[in-house]
Amino acid sequence: MTGTAIRAYAPGRVNLIGEHTDYNLGFALPIALPMGTTVDYRPADPGVDDDRLVATSTAEPDTCVIDRDTRPGDVGGWGAYVAGCAWALREAGHRIRGGTLHVDSTVPVGAGLSSSAALECAVLLALTADARPDRHEIARLARRAENDYVGAPTGLLDQLSSLYGDVDTALLIDFRSLAVAPIPCELDHQVRLLVIDSRSAHQHVAGEYAERKASCERAAAELGVDSLREASSDAWESLPQGPIRSRARHILTENARVLDAAGALRDRDFTALGVAMDASHRSMRDDFEISTPQIDRIVDAAKDLGALGARMTGGGFGGSVVVFADAASASAITDRLPDTIVDAGFTRPQVREIRPGRGATVGSAPTVDSGDVEQHN
Ligand code: GAF
């Protein structure tokens, strides 16, 4: 494909259940969003002796120039995710041709819907269109970029969701084996899926996420295991009262809830799925302490308006709420919930009804008049 323009697409994700379980080698049940990030990569012509990548974005005024030997700290802002991918690829021994990259995204930024992973995965797929490493390798490279170049100590949830997601499908991910099992998630006139963006800040580089990760590592050490995945489901009971015990309880009970929720989704038992989601939210609020008053108010309002299940999704401290509801309740939530939240003194949230969307793709960029993209999953 050298010399031809390449277009890669990677979606954001919404996690149905299983929060902060990824770096504890547990389970999660995400879907790919129908919103995503498109990257058009135009490698320099053969013979042009310029290894630099020049990245632009429809949403950003600045142009980001990435040198061949870029190091963590060289590039900040949105460009750090692009530069981090180039850095991770070169560190892993991949050859990258210089050229231009243009980014265009429909994933809301800062909403807990993985705009960063969508950007990383699209950039990596575009830059490796010739070599086509497998998708687990792409996910690991994206995580390396995010952890070691951007400086956010996140797990693999977002990247695996974006790379393996599919239409009308949820993914049961086991972060110990890295097995990704599709489960049908078809919505109909009975069951709807809403994502409610609180439009309040959400930022992983901030210390809270790192602090939760460190607490989990401490809990595992106190229990004498390498990761909380190796602990028995009631092992948290042996820890002394305090935050470490609560953090461990969240992770161990959350893993069990993910498996319950996956079984419920397979059986299309949305009542049971809702029970697991509600319990997950309480666990994030009370044990892991990653919710906010506004998010709790949105979850309560969704339940008051008839939701089957409602919980914060993503890393926490703001972001979005995911809701399953029957058609009548979904309409009531869409129509009435934003005013309820404004009346309670918070920013007006944005409610979107969605279906699980397609996963990441890469192919030749369309010509100006064709509009079609040859895609390869
Ligand atoms: C963020 C992180 F990027 C993920 O790795 C995951 O830990 C998630 O928060 C919480 O489940 O999205």
Tens of pLDDT, residue by residue over 227-275, are: 999 999 999 999 999 999 999 999 999 999 999 999 999 999 999 999 9
Q: Which of 1-10, 157-166, 235-244 has the lowest mean pLDDT?
A: 1-10
Other Cβ atoms less than 10 A from the Cβ of 8: the count is 27
Ligand 1 mutation target, pool 20, 146, 277, 311, most atoms within 8 A of CB? 20
Alpha carbons within 13 A on the beta-carbon side of 275:
9
Best CA proximity match to 160, nearest among 359, 363, 362: 359
Type and span of the H or E element at 261: helix 243-266
Best CA proximity match to 203, nearest among 73, 77, 316: 316
For residues 226 and 264, the answer to whether their CB atoms sit within 8 Å is: no
pLDDT digits (tens, 9 = 90+) for 95-104: 999 999 999 9
pLDDT digits (tens, 9 = 90+) for 18-47: 999 999 999 999 999 999 999 999 999 888
Using DSSP bridges, classify how beta strands 53-57 and 99-105 pair: parallel, antiparallel or unpaired. parallel
Report the distance separating Cα 137 and Cα 135, nearest Å: 5
Q: Scan for tokens 């980014």, then name that residue.
A: 103
- pTM of full prediction above 0.90: yes
Q: Identify each DSSP E strand in 18-58 by its residue range.
A: 27-43, 53-57
Type and span of the H or E element at 140: helix 135-144
Output the CA 254–ligand 1 centroid distance in Å. 14
**What domains can be seen in the chain, in order of their start residue?**
6-182 (3.30.230.10), 187-376 (3.30.70.890)
Assigned token pair, 158: 């977002």
Best CA proximity match to 83, nearest among 27, 115, 124: 124
SS3 324: strand
CA angle 350, 197, 291 (to 5 degrees): 140
Assigned token pair, 162: 């974006």
Ligand 1 mutation target, pool 15, 16, 22, most atoms within 8 A of CB? 22
In this model, does residue 134 exceed pLDDT 60?
yes
Please report the sign of the dihedral spanned by the C-alpha atoms of residue 280, residue 286, residue 290, residue 291.
positive
For residue 296, which phi and psi values (nearest 5 degrees)? -60, -40
Assigned token pair, 377: 């999953």
For residues 156 and 174, the answer to whether their CB atoms sit within 8 Å is: no
Give Cβ neighbours of residue 7 (< 8 Å, ≥ 6 apart): 38, 39, 40, 41, 126, 362, 363, 364, 365, 366, 373
What residues does 29 pair with on adjacent strands?
Answer: 17
Assigned token pair, 309: 């299940």
pLDDT digits (tens, 9 = 90+) for 47-92: 887 899 999 999 999 999 999 999 999 999 999 999 999 999 999 9
Report the distance separating Cα 113 and Cα 158, nearest Å: 9
Q: Which residues are catalytic?
A: 158
Please report the sign of the dihedral spanned by the C-alpha atoms of residue 137, residue 134, residue 75, residue 51.
positive
Q: Which ligand 1 atom is the nearest neighbour of the CA of 20? A: 11
Does the CB atom of residue 20 touch ligand 1 within 6 A? yes
In this model, does residue 126 exceed pLDDT 60?
yes
SS3 108: coil
